């Protein structure tokens, strides 16, 4: 796992509030980016399951290679748009 920017108390609060593991990854990413640690932020983001419409929007703005280079999980987009969605115009 990447370096955590949440203290143990914050993690326990998230667990007590039943925050999903996926949301915790996104919170960790935001905390890392806020601390100026882009590498760790990207590592946390690569663990998160990103909704298909968000991935499609990211592809349209940054391109398919951006998504590939960041190692983002694309299962949601593959299920919604097909396995070859990164290589097709949608």
Q: Which domain holds residue 39?
A: 1-48
- In this predicted structure, the answer to whether residue 72 has a pLDDT above a threshold of 90 is yes
pLDDT (tens digit per residue) in 6-29: 999 999 999 999 999 999 999 999
Contact 43, 68 (CB under 8 A): no
Contact 61, 77 (CB under 8 A): no
User: Within this chain, do residues 27 and 65 fall inside the same structural domain, yes or no?
Assistant: no
CA–CA gap between residue 13 and residue 24 (Å, rounded): 11
User: Within this chain, do residues 59 and 18 fall inside the same structural domain, yes or no?
Assistant: no
The domain total for the chain is 2
């Amino acid at each position: 796992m990447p370096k955590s920017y949440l203290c143990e108390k914050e993690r326990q609060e998230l667990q007590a509030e039943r925050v999903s593991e996926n949301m915790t990854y996104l919170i960790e990413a935001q905390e890392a980016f806020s601390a100026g640690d882009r590498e760790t932020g990207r590592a946390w983001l690569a663990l998160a399951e990103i909704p298909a419409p968000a991935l499609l929007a990211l592809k349209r703005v940054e391109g398919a290679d951006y998504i590939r280079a960041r190692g983002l999980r694309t299962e949601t987009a593959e299920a919604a748009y097909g396995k070859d969605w990164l290589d097709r115009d949608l």
